[in-house]
């Protein structure tokens, strides 16, 4: 498994089909890049003044991420994105 370092988070973008008001289904490649993702793994937190800062997200959270953030990684046939915690804009509850 990918284990992120410091304040980095491994996420997987949520693929979803979107239906227009007229009933046309847009494939995920026909619309803008999705911004909602699931947190797969969380790093231990960044060191601040000799102490480990607590992470605000946890495994399984659904989050909204900055549209152009992160580094794409393919691991064991799956596509993931590694982002810094500050690229996560919100947690969906």
Task: Give domain limits for the chain.
Answer: 8-92
Mean pLDDT computed over 57-83: 95
Sequence-ordered list of residues with C-beta below 8 angstroms from that of 75, at least 6 positions apart, any chain: 2
Closest CA to 58 of 32, 24, 85: 85
CATH number assigned to the domain with residue range 8-92, chosen from the 4 options 3.30.43.10, 2.30.33.40, 1.10.3720.10, 2.60.40.650: 2.30.33.40
The burial of 20, by beta-carbon neighbours within 10 Å (0-12 exposed, 13-18 middle, 19 or more buried), is given as exposed
Residue 67 has pLDDT above 90, yes or no: no
Residue 85 has pLDDT above 70, yes or no: yes
Give me the chain's average pLDDT, please. Answer: 87
Would you state the pLDDT for residue 17? Answer: 54
């Amino acid at each position: 498994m990918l284990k992120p370092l410091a304040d980095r988070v491994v996420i997987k973008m949520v693929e979803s089909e979107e239906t227009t008001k007229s009933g046309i289904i847009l494939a995920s490649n026909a619309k803008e890049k999705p911004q909602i993702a699931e947190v797969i793994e969380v790093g231990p937190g960044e060191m601040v003044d000799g102490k480990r800062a607590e992470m605000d997200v946890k495994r399984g959270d659904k989050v909204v991420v900055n549209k152009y953030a992160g580094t794409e990684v393919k691991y064991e046939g799956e596509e993931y994105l590694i982002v810094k915690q500050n690229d996560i804009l919100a947690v969906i509850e």
